[in-house]
Amino acid sequence: MSLILNILREMLEYFGVPVEQLEVTSAYLSSLWKKQTGRNLRST
């Protein structure tokens, strides 16, 4: 997951997206990922 976020961050930086915005985005995506994986683990 962290590799995906790093690649996404590098791509967005290349296109000129501010780094501050990326930190918020990566924290948000990380929390969503944890919720989703937790939900999947509970349902099995």
Mean pLDDT (whole number) for 35-40 = 68
% of the chain surpassing 70 pLDDT: 64
* Integer angstrom CA distances of residue 9 from 3, 27, 36: 10, 12, 21
Kindly state the DSSP code that residue 1 receives in the 8-state scheme. -
In whole angstroms, what is the distance from residue 28 CA to residue 5 CA? 11
pLDDT tier at 11, thresholds 50, 70, 90: confident
| CA 18 distance to own-chain centroid | 15
pLDDT tier at 17, thresholds 50, 70, 90: confident
